[in-house]
Amino acid sequence: MDVGTEHGRAQTEVDDLAREQRKADADVEQVRSRKERNRQRIDAGQISDPKQLQAIQHETQSLDRRISDLEDAELEVMERLEQAQAHLARLTAELERLDAQQGEQTGARDRATAEAAEQLADSSAERRMLADQVPTDLRALYDKLRAHLGGVGVGALQHGRCGGCQLDVGAAELARMAHSPSDEVIRCEECSRILVRTAESGV
């Protein structure tokens, strides 16, 4: 059971016991006032018949026992209510602690998201800057290839393989690439992507 559910149950228990306690109070009060009425009648000299007087005195004794029983019950409910209230207070504190913890986690996540967005903005700016340095015709070719090839217009040539389509470049083609000037644009025969030569190109 999670803390929220447990807290809900504890709150219900406190409410139930508080209602039970109010009823116990009212029960005791009712019997007390009955006893008080009897006492007033006797004190006022309203009861002249000795048998009736005896009966009322007898009832008063039984009311005393009843009051004692009801007070015991009332006390027991009060004790249970106090325990339930203490339990509820503990769970309330626990809930508040968890809320604070969750707030911290949300804050940390938001900060991480903001940081990532910032980095993305930085790399976008960097990309635009680099793109400006690329000759116009090469950029036009790159943009066209990128648009047609799922957003990737260029592949690194590594160990004789195209990083765009992951296919090996043929040996003859590879030999031709090895002899082409470094500023010549070379492209993959399979996927047409622009190939970038690196130290690990194998050419």
Q: Are 195 and 157 in contact (CB under 8 A)?
A: yes
Choose between 7 and 164: whose C-beta lies nearer to Zn ion: 164
Which strand (E) or helix (H) includes residue 195? strand 194-197
d(CA 143, CA 140): 5
CB 140 to Zn ion: min, Å: 19
Q: Are 77 and 42 in contact (CB under 8 A)?
A: no
CB 200 to Zn ion: min, Å: 16
Q: Are 3 and 98 in contact (CB under 8 A)?
A: yes
Choose between 77 and 157: whose C-beta lies nearer to Zn ion: 157
Q: How far is CA 118 from the centre of its chain?
A: 26
Choose between 38 and 158: whose C-beta lies nearer to Zn ion: 158
Choose between 47 and 149: whose C-beta lies nearer to Zn ion: 149
CB 187 to Zn ion: min, Å: 8
d(CA 63, CA 67): 6
Choose between 17 and 194: whose C-beta lies nearer to Zn ion: 194
C-alpha dihedral over 65, 71, 72, 77, to 10 degrees? 150
Residue numbers at the binding site for Zn ion (CB under 5 A): 162, 164-165, 188, 190-191
CB 136 to Zn ion: min, Å: 24
Please name which of 151, 146, 170 lies closest in space to residue 160, comparing C-alpha atoms: 170
CB 201 to Zn ion: min, Å: 13
Please name which of 35, 51, 7 lies closest in space to residue 43, comparing C-alpha atoms: 35
d(CA 160, CA 8): 67
CB 161 to Zn ion: min, Å: 8
Choose between 14 and 195: whose C-beta lies nearer to Zn ion: 195
